[in-house]
């Protein structure tokens, strides 16, 4: 299923066009609304004050509750733009945001209101597409879920350390999805909440790491080379603004290990090949091993902070000071969790469809 996201944060609407959607799939719109709500802005003091309903209008590709096989287009209206907040930023670009690079790339013609196409708001249509992908993957018994792994060094329980996850349970991640901060350990969530509130009081912001898993994926999905499972997932994850790093399985920790520690010992269990550990995060040679797929994405602290920062005056070509105005997330990690799940679900659906064909789901 190909997806193409359109719109700008302060334009009339944003949306997504999905192609190669198999016909005859019953879409559960309540589940889609739940996913959209997990990401939506303006719900509490841990997020931006911008309020959007984020209810998608399906324009094509669904009839009588079933996908028709035609391109599926969904639109989400922007209703709470406050474009005046951005009037200064063309002249005084925000350090860390895309104001300067957008000007360099589009020669001053980019829509800078609300960061235009660079806004984290564009993850709303991504989450819609991911919710459709998740429902299609569920038909093959594949589940995708994620949680906050850490915020500013405050750590949640790791999935690998959880006995419930080791026995294949999705219930941990399903429960996390219902929490304001999607964590496994609610105590850690409370400490994260306090840290975000403190950073906000100090005019600052925090970053963190999201851990994502896919279960029910058989061995043999994916391929080597540039279209490896890691590549497809990474490509989609980097469509989430603020993602700056990604690692699969043990990831960067592999660099400190010996082969004897890094390898996942194999054994036969009830006639099936299983790995006793999962350092490779369920992928070898770009192809699924049958073990849970596990990866982590690192998100930067939000760049639009309330403190005075050094920038440049693009008109006078001189150094300048900037205090970024407007409504901003003091931390984007919790709101990005459904976006990372969507990125992974779309990548897995792409790999499954590539192997078995569009109608395999």
Ligand X SMILES: C=C(O[C@@H]1CC(C(=O)O)=C[C@@H](OP(=O)(O)O)[C@H]1O)C(=O)O
Annotated binding site for NADP(+): 39
Q: Binding mask 298-337 vs ligand FMN (x if CB under 6 A, - otherwise)?
A: --x-xxx-----------------------xx--x--xx-
Exactly one of 93, 120, 145, 282 binds ligand FMN (CB under 6 A); that residue is 120
CB of 121 to ligand FMN, least distance (A): 7
> What does 114 bind: ligand X, ligand FMN, none (CB cut-off 5 to 8 Å by kind)?
ligand X
Q: Is there binding between residue 119 and ligand FMN (CB under 6 A)?
A: yes
CB of 290 to ligand FMN, least distance (A): 31
Q: Is residue 148 within 8 Å of 337, Cβ to Cβ?
A: yes
Degrees to nearest 5, angle at CA 41 with 5 and 197: 135
What tokens does 348 get?
């897995």
CB of 346 to ligand X, least distance (A): 18
Exactly one of 119, 135, 234, 278 binds ligand X (CB under 6 A); that residue is 119
Q: Binding mask 31-70 vs ligand FMN (x if CB under 6 A, - otherwise)?
A: -----------------x----------------------
List C-alpha distances in Å: 305 to 112, 119, 205, 301, 318. 18, 15, 6, 9, 22
What tokens does 217 get?
């994926």
**237-296: which residues touch ligand FMN (CB under 6 A)?**
240-242
Site size for ligand FMN, by CB under 6 A?
A: 21
Site size for ligand X, by CB under 6 A?
A: 17
Exactly one of 114, 249, 281, 282 binds ligand X (CB under 6 A); that residue is 114
Buried b (16+ CB within 10 A) or exposed e, 251-275: eeeeeeeeeeebebeeeeeeeeeeb
Q: Which residues are annotated as a binding site?
A: 39, 285, 327
Question: Distance between CA atoms of 344 and 134, rounded to whole angstroms?
Answer: 9
Nearer Cβ to ligand FMN, position 189 or 301?
301
Backbone angles phi, psi at 253, to 5 degrees: -70, -20
CB of 186 to ligand FMN, least distance (A): 22
Q: Which among 237, 213, 145 is positioned nearest to 182, based on CA atoms? A: 145
For residue 171, what is the enclosing H or E element?
helix 171-177
CB atoms within 10 A of CB 159: 24
What is the distance of C-alpha 180 from the center of its chain? 16
Q: Binding mask 21-60 vs ligand X (x if CB under 6 A, - otherwise)?
A: --------------------x------x-x-x--------
CB of 8 to ligand FMN, least distance (A): 12
Q: Is there binding between residue 123 and ligand FMN (CB under 6 A)?
A: yes
Q: What share of the chain is helix, strand, coil (3-state, %, to 5)?
A: 35, 25, 40
Question: Distance between CA atoms of 17 and 24, rounded to whole angstroms?
Answer: 18
> What does 236 bind: ligand FMN, ligand X, none (CB cut-off 5 to 8 Å by kind)?
none
Contacts 24+ apart (CB under 8 A), 102-106: 103/314
Degrees to nearest 5, angle at CA 213 with 210 and 218: 160
Q: CA 253, 254, 257, 260 torsion: positive or negative?
A: positive
Nearer Cβ to ligand FMN, position 146 or 283?
146
Nearer Cβ to ligand X, position 48 or 228?
48
> What is the binding site for ligand X (CB under 6 A)?
9, 41, 48, 50, 52, 81, 85, 114-115, 119-121, 124, 241, 326-328
> What is the binding site for ligand FMN (CB under 6 A)?
48, 97-98, 115, 118-120, 123, 240-242, 300, 302-304, 328-329, 332, 335-336, 339
């Amino acid at each position: 299923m190909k997806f193409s996201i359109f719109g700008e944060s302060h334009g009339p609407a944003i949306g997504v066009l999905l192609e190669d959607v198999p016909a005859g799939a019953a879409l559960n719109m309540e589940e889609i609304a739940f996913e959209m709500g997990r990401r939506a802005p303006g719900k509490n003091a841990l997020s931006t004050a911008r309020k959007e309903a984020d209810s998608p209008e399906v324009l094509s590709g669904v009839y009588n509750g079933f996908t028709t096989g035609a391109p599926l287009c969904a639109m989400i209206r922007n209703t709470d733009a406050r474009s005046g907040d951005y009037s200064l930023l063309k002249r005084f670009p925000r350090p860390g945001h895309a104001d300067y690079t957008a000007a360099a790339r589009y020669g001053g013609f980019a829509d800078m209101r609300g960061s235009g196409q660079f806004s984290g708001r564009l993850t709303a249509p991504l989450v819609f597409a991911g919710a459709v992908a998740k429902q299609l993957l569920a038909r093959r018994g594949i589940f995708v879920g994620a949680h906050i792994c850490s915020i500013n060094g405050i750590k949640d329980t790791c999935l690998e350390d959880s006995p419930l996850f080791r026995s294949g349970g999705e219930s941990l991640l399903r429960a996390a999805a219902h929490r304001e901060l999607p964590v496994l350990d609610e105590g850690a969530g409370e400490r994260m909440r306090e840290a975000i509130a403190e950073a906000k009081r100090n005019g600052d912001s925090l970053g963190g790491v999201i851990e994502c898993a896919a279960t029910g994926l058989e061995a043999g999905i994916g391929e080597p080379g540039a279209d490896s499972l890691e590549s497809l997932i990474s490509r989609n994850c980097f469509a989430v603004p603020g993602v700056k790093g990604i690692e699969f399985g043990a990831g960067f920790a592999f660099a400190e290990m010996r082969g004897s520690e890094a390898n996942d010992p194999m054994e036969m269990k009830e006639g099936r090949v299983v790995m006793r550990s999962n350092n490779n995060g369920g992928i070898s040679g770009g192809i699924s091993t049958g073990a849970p797929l596990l990866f982590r994405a690192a998100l930067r602290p939000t760049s639009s902070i309330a403190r005075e920062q050094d920038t440049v005056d693009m008109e006078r070509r001189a150094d300048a000071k900037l205090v970024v105005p407007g409504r901003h997330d003091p931390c984007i990690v919790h709101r990005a969790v459904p976006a990372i799940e969507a990125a992974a679900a779309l990548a897995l659906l792409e790999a499954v469809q590539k192997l078995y064909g569009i109608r395999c789901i």
